[in-house]
Structure formats: structure tokens, C-alpha cells
A and B are shown apart, each in its own frame.
Chain A
Amino acid sequence: MTDKRIFDTKVQVLKYKVLKEVASLAWEDKLLEHVLDIPKTIVPGKVPTMRCCVYKERAILEERVKLAMGGDPDNSNAIQVIEIACDECPAGGYEVTESCRGCLAHRCQDVCPKGAISLDHLQRAHIDKNKCVECGACARACPYFAIRHNERPCIRSCKVKAISMNEDFTAHIDNSKCISCGSCVYMCPFGAIMDKSYILNVIDMIKKSQNNQKYKVFAVVAPSIASQFKYAKLGQVVAGIRELGFFSTVEAALGADMVAYKESKELSEKGFLTSSCCPAFVDFIKKNFPDLAPYISSNLSPMATIAKEMKRSDPDCKIVFIGPCTAKKMEFRKSEVHKYIDCVITFEELQALFDSKNIDITSLDEDVLDNASYFGRIFARSGGLSDAVAEGLKEQGIDNFDLKAVPCDGIEACKVALLKARKRLLDGNFIEGMACEGGCIGGAGCLTHGPKNKAEVDKYGKEAYEKTMKDAISVYYIDNKQE
């Protein structure tokens, strides 16, 4: 598999190798016996390739193994720092570099609102850290780009400002602020922040099902899967999921159809709503805008909505959500969701599971995956949910409500919209909040992120058998017992 570009970064590859080793041993019931051998399997020999020596590399791998096995049970967050892997990146803020030429204009000094820049006898700039407020005006003004911003990638990636430095300079996550979106996981160049993995729970669930005889294990896949596993066909990915031992796969997008249908009605009744699909966005509102929490749509997420329906038709079945999202690993543990969703894994972890069983999905015959409508499927990208809510109003003939959707692409855009909504200045009545840029296709648990992903999702949407949400969700109403 290494000849194909499955992942964006080598950090992901390293994480994948650990997950794969852990899973391989778990399938064979040999994990307890061989768990301590995994670091040496991945880093054999004596020549280090990543850190100062192989012993440090292996020590870090031991921590990765723990995360692959579920992580620290005393830490409630699904996102965890591996302290010994943290390279303690420079974090000095704005600093003048050697590129400063000691020019005459001194634009840097002129634009500084705090008078923090002084000049030495060679006319070179110096920043007084006691006065600097990190506004960055000097860096933007310098024609030589001589002022650099030393900010840690993790801190820069964290738009909710949950990451700081410990006294020993390692990264620290404040769980009371963190929304588990995983952007730091994806951004840390040293792989020092990782999401906990529940693959062992999935393997256990599959094994104990005794080939789906004792109970059935279903996979619910997120629609962003259309932009993933590009080296194979989607039908082959679904076939691979069956090969792993799942009984069958259902689209979370069918849950999304239902959500959009109900949400559009709720919106027309209440007049203002925020979406509830993205667990990181919901968590963000609860932690930062508690006054707006009553406006969060009362619907469960698409994941939980479809799983609720599946458990209604088969109460004994087990359901594993497979998606791009690390925040779903928090959502499924909530009591109102856990009764429907038994476990959550990411696309990265699915790839590791395939390879742990030597399943080459490109050699498999394609399975069918077709439950949802176009509208449920395009939830995977920013703007899709808003389109679906508009469709929901149309299909239900609600024409006395004028929808003004505000699709927010990324948590910073969400924050702007929520600030406006709080002050009643928002030009809109429906906030579609997606914590990841681009929507779910930008999720931290994706194998790859690329500019064509949105088009892939739209294409997948258009291939749906059902053309309206109403037709797609009619299956919920077979027994006329749907609430």
C-alpha cells in the first residue's frame, strides 16, 4: 500500500502503522503477549530516522500504542498530548530575524501601535516583548518579510484557544475549552497530539458477534467517504467493510435527510436556529455562547438519527460510525447518543483495519451503498446542510418562512456569526456551523484533504437513487410509528 499516496503526511503514516500493528495482533488474540514488541517492529535497528535516537523513537511509539488502545482513561478528552513527542517548538511570538536590513523607512516602527519597536546603532529593529501585543502589524509592513511570527503550529491551528504551554514547555490542552475538532492533531508536525482510538472495541465487537450470528454489527459511514479512499471505488470500500466482518453498511446521509427534513420544520416554527450536526460546533456554542444554546436545533446528529432508526428495527444490533471526525468520538459517549452508537472510528483507522487483515480493497467486487438522497449526501461539505434545509422547506410546502441561511465554514466563521447573533445583528435566521474548514471533508480523521473533495461529494450526491429527501426518508415511516 505504500506505493499509493493514501495519506497527506508522514505523521499520519506513523500513526497508521501503529494502529495496523495493534489491530493485527488483536484479531489474532496476541495483543497482550506482543504489545511491547510493537515499537521495535516499527523502528528496528539502531539508526534513528525521526528523533535523536531509536530509544526515544520507541518510547514515543509506546505512547502511540497506548492511544491506539484507547488512551488515558483518566483524561475525558478524545484528543490527547503525547508529552514526550512534543518538540517544544519556539513560541516567542514576533521576532526580528537576520533579514532585517536596517533600512531607512522603518515602516515597522511607524505601524506599531504600542511603540514596541526600537532601533539599534545599525538601524536594525528590535521588539520590546513587554510592550508587544502580537498584532503582527510590523510583520505585514516589513518589505523584506524580516519579522517572523514564532507561533506553535498547534496553537495556531487551535481557533478556540485551548492550547497553551506547560511549565516544561510541552503543549497542554485545556479540556474546558477544547471542542475535539482535531485540527491540532492534523497540524502538529511532530505528531505529538493524537486522537484516542477505539479500534479494539470494534474488533472485539466483530469477533464476539460470531460472524454476525449473535448480533449484527452495522457500519454507518459519513458521506465525506466519497472524497476518501481515492485509490479504489466507493463500492470496493463498502465491500472491504463487509470483509472486515461487518454485516452491512448504511449511509449516515439517510440520517441527514431526516435531520434536514425535521430541522427545516423546526426552523420555520422557531424563527431562528443553529445546526446540531457538527458535534464540535455544538460543543463550541455550549462552552462559549451558553446564552445561544436554546437555539441549537433539537435534532440528534445525522449519525445518531440513522442509528436510532436502525436500533428501532433491530434492537440487538451494534452500530459503528466511520467518518472523518474526531469530535464524534466525544459525541457518541453522551448518554443520549450512546444508546444508538456503540463506537466511532475514523477513515484513517478504517484504512489501518483493512491492512491489518490484509484486505486489498482494489481487488474486491463492488458492493452497493445507496440509502440517502442528494441532499443528505451533500451534508459532507460546507453549504450542503443549508441547501438541504431549503429543500426541506420546499418539500413540505412551507412557503410562509423566508430562509436566510448563514453557512459558516470553519470555527472562526462560526464564531463571527454567533457573536452577531448574540447582538441580534446577524443577517440570517439559520446558522449552519461546521468546525472544520470545507465542512466534514476537512475533518482531522480524513486520509487526505484536497481541493477536489467538494466536487467528489457533489458528484456522489448526484448519483443517489432517491432524488428527494421525502422519498429517501419514507422508509422511516413503514410502521407509522416514527415520532
Chain B
Amino acid sequence: MNVTICIGSSCHIKGSREVVDRMKELVNENGLSDKVELSGAFCMGHCKDGVCVTVDGKLYSVSPETVDDFFKNNVLAKV
């Protein structure tokens, strides 16, 4: 599973670094590092919906507050 997190300017100031850090923790805690590939993108063209995250190409809007729920529902449940 490919999870890409936008690290462009708009998403960055909405907390993409916090999202990245937490996602990395969650992937490790759940032992998914060989199943989930995390990567960054410098803009996904949906700046108003940041922090933009795609899971196998499907776009989601995540924030540092919702990242745990997002992981549970869209990564852990589907991997």
C-alpha cells in the first residue's frame, strides 16, 4: 500500500510534518513497515484541503488531530 503525504507549503503550515511523524509511528507500532510505503509529494494540487494524503491514489484530507482515526479507518482496515 502506498501512502503519500503532501509536504508542500500549504499542507506544511497545516501540520504535514506532524502527520508524517505520527504516520511513521503508527506504521511501526502496527508492524506494517514492509506493507505500507510512505512517501512525500511537494504539492498535490488540492491546497485548500490539506493536509492532503493519498492512499493508493485516493485523496483524503487529514490533520494532526485526525491522523489516528484516519490511519485506523483507511490504512489499518484496508491493508
Which A positions have Cβ atoms within 8 angstroms of B?
212, 216, 218, 238, 247-251, 310, 313-314, 367-371, 465-466, 471, 474-475, 478-479
CB pair A369–B39 under 8 Å, yes or no, is: no
In the complex, the answer to whether B13 meets A247 with C-beta atoms within 8 Å is no
Chain B residues positioned under 8 Å from A248 (CB to CB)? 8-9, 42-43, 45
Report yes or no: A218 in contact with B42, Cβ–Cβ below 8 A: yes
Chain A: CB-nearest residue to B45: A247
Interface size class of B (residues with CB under 8 A): 20 to 34
Contact (Cβ within 8 A) B43 A371 = no
- Binary contact readout B1-14 vs A (1 if CB under 8 angstroms, 0 otherwise): 00001011110110
> Ordered nearest first, which 8 A-B pairs have the shortest CB separation?
A248-B43, A475-B7, A368-B9, A478-B40, A370-B9, A368-B10, A465-B13, A370-B13
B11 nearest CB across to chain A (Å): 9
Q: Which residues of B contact A371 (CB under 8 A)?
A: 7-9, 12
Is residue B17 within 8 Å, beta carbon to beta carbon, of the partner chain? yes
Is B20 an interface residue when CB atoms closer than 8 A count as contact? yes
Which B residues are in CB contact (< 8 Å) with A247?
Answer: 43, 45
- Check A250–B24 contact: CB distance below 8 A: no
Instruction: Say whether A478 contacts B24, CB under 8 Å.
Output: yes
Chain B residues within an 8 Å CB radius of A212: 45
With the chains together, A251 CA to B12 CA distance in Å? 12
Show 6 residue pairs from A and B whose CB-CB distance is below 8 angstroms, ordered by the A residue. Answer: A238-B9, A248-B45, A250-B42, A466-B17, A478-B38, A479-B40
Q: Are B42 and A310 in contact, with the CB atoms below 8 A?
A: yes
CB distance from B33 to the nearest CB of A (A): 9
Q: Are B13 and A368 in contact (CB under 8 A)?
A: yes
CB < 8 Å: which of A250, A471, A474 contacts B8? A250
What's the nearest-Cβ distance from chain A to residue B14, in Å?
9
Tell me the total A-B contact number using a CB cutoff of 8 A.
64
Cα separation A233 to B42 with both chains bound (whole Å) = 22
Determine whether the beta carbon of A249 is less than 8 Å from that of B21: no
Q: Are A314 and B41 in contact (CB under 8 A)?
A: yes
Are A313 and B9 touching (Cβ within 8 A)? no
Please indicate the chain B residues that have their CB under 8 angstroms from the CB of A314 in the complex.
41-42
Determine if B47 is an interface residue (Cβ-Cβ < 8 Å).
Answer: yes
Decide if A474 touches B20 in the complex (CB within 8 Å).
yes
Q: Does B68 contact A (CB under 8 A)?
A: no
B37 within 8 A of A: yes
B1 to A: closest C-beta gap in Å: 13
Residue of A216, A474, A479 near B39 (CB, 8 A) is A479
Residues in A neighbouring B41, C-beta threshold 8 A: 313-314
Contact B9 A478 (CB under 8 A): no
Least Cβ–Cβ distance between A42 and chain B, in angstroms: 37
CB nearest neighbor in B for A369: B9
CA distance in complex: A250, B9 (Å): 7
Residues of B within 8 Å of A368, CB to CB, are 9-10, 13, 47
Closest Cβ of chain A: how far from B10's Cβ, in Å?
5
User: Which residues on B sit within 8 Å (CB–CB) of A474?
Assistant: 17, 20-21
B37: chain A residues at CB < 8 Å are: 479
Q: In the complex, A23 Cα to B1 Cα: how many Å?
A: 44
Return the chain B residue nearest A250 by Cβ.
B42
B51 CB to nearest chain A CB (Å): 12
Q: Which of B20, B41, B45 has the most CB of A within 10 A?
A: B41
Instruction: Report chain A residues within 8 Å CB of B42.
Output: 218, 248, 250, 310, 313-314
Q: Mark B21-44, 1 if CB is under 8 A from A, else 0.
A: 100100000000000011111110
Q: A368-B13, A371-B12, A475-B7 are in contact. Are A313 and B39 (CB under 8 A)?
A: yes
The complex places the Cα of A466 from the Cα of B42 at a distance, in Å, of 16
Known A-B contacts: A313-B39, A474-B21, A478-B38. Give 14 more (CB < 8 A): A212-B45, A248-B9, A248-B42, A313-B40, A313-B41, A314-B42, A367-B47, A368-B9, A368-B13, A371-B8, A371-B12, A465-B12, A474-B20, A475-B16
**Alpha-carbon distance between A191 and B43 when the two chains are bound, in angstroms:** 39
Assuming the contacts A250-B8, A313-B41, A314-B42, asked whether A478 and B20 have C-beta atoms less than 8 A apart, the reply is yes
Give Cα A248 to B41, complex, Å. Answer: 11
Docked Cα-Cα span, A238 to B43, in Å, equals 14
Minimal Cβ-Cβ distance residue in B for A238: B9
Distance (Å) between the CB of B39 and the closest chain A CB?
A: 5
Q: Which residues of A contact B38 (CB under 8 A)?
A: 478-479
Chain B 43-73 residues near chain A, CB threshold 8 A: 43, 45, 47
A471 to B17, CA, bound (A): 8
Q: How far, in Å, is A329 (CB) from chain B's closest CB?
A: 23
Task: For A475, list chain B residues within 8 Å (CB).
Answer: 7, 12, 16-17, 20, 40
Give the distance to chain B from A223, nearest Cβ to Cβ, in Å: 14
Candidates B10, B13, B39; contact of A478 at CB < 8 Å: B39
A369–B42 alpha-carbon span in the complex (Å):
12
